[in-house]
Structure 1
Amino acid sequence: MGKIKTLNKWANTHSYYPLDVLRIALGAFLFMKGVHFVSNSELLVELIKPMDNYAGSMIMAHYVAASHLVGGLLITFGLLTRWAIIVQIPVLIGAILINFMGEFNATNFLLASITLLVCVFFMFYGSGKHSADYYFKMQQ
C-alpha cells in the first residue's frame, strides 16, 4: 500500500495535460470498441472462434463487451482507473493471443499491443491530477 501511495504522489506532482488527454483517449477508444462489439456481436463471436474449444466462450464474449463499455467510461472520467485497467488487461492479452491461435491480423495485433502498453502505463501511473479520483480525494 505504501508503494501505491508513493506512486500516487509522484503522479500528482508530475501530472501533465497530454497524459490526461491520453487517458481520456484510451477510455474513449475502449468504450467505442465495446459499442462496436455490442452492435456487431457476430464479429466478436468470429474473433473468439479460435477459442471455441475452451469452455465459456460465450461468457468470454459478454465479458469483453461489458468490460470495454464500463471500463472505458471509468477510464475516461478517471474514476477507479487502476481497477478498470486491471479488468481490461486479460481482454487485451486475449486479443493478442487470438492473433496467434487463428488468422494473424497485423492491424489488430498492433492495436491490441499498443493498447496493452498504454494500459500497463496507466496502471502504474494512475488517473492523474485531472480526474474524478483526484477530485473525490480532495473533497475528503
Structure 2
Amino acid sequence: MICGGGVGLASSAAVALLAALLPFALANALVTVVSTILATELHARFTFASGLRPSAGRGLLRCGLRHHLQSAGTAAAAFSVTTLAMLVLHAIESTPGLAVEQTVYLSASGLAGIGRFLALRLYVFATARKQPVPVALDLHRSPTRRESLTTAS
C-alpha cells in the first residue's frame, strides 16, 4: 500500500496540475507512464522482494523489459478505468469541482490499483513454484512379492 498508494497520491496531484495545462486524457497518460515505471521499480525492490539486481546497461533499474511491459499492461487497464471514470463524471456534471474530480479519480485509481496489485503479485512478480519431483519408474526391475500383493488388491 505504501508504494502503490504513495505513487497513486503523487499521481493524483500531478494529474490535477497537468490537467490545467493539457487535456485530461493526455495529462493522465503522461502521469500513468511515469508512475508505472516508478511503481514497477518500487514493487520489484520492496513490495514483492523479487531479488532482482541491477545489471549492466540498466543503470539503477532492477526490472528488465519483460517486467516493465507486463506492468505496462496492468497500467493500461488502470489508465482505462481512471479515464472512463472521469469521462463519465464529466458527462454527468459538465463542471465538477476539484474535490469531486479528485474523489472520483482517487476512487477509480484505488480500485484499479487493487486489480493492478493482484496482477503484479500473481503474474508479473510471481515466484517460481516448486514443481513436484517426478518419480522415475524402473521398468526393467521385477516387483517384489510384497509389491505384487499390494498392487493386486
Do they fold alike, i.e. is TM over 0.5? no
**Structure number with larger C-alpha Rg:** 2
* TM-score in terms of structure 1 length: 0.27
* TM-score in terms of structure 2 length: 0.25
Higher relative contact order, chain-length normalized (CA < 8 Å, sep 6+): 1
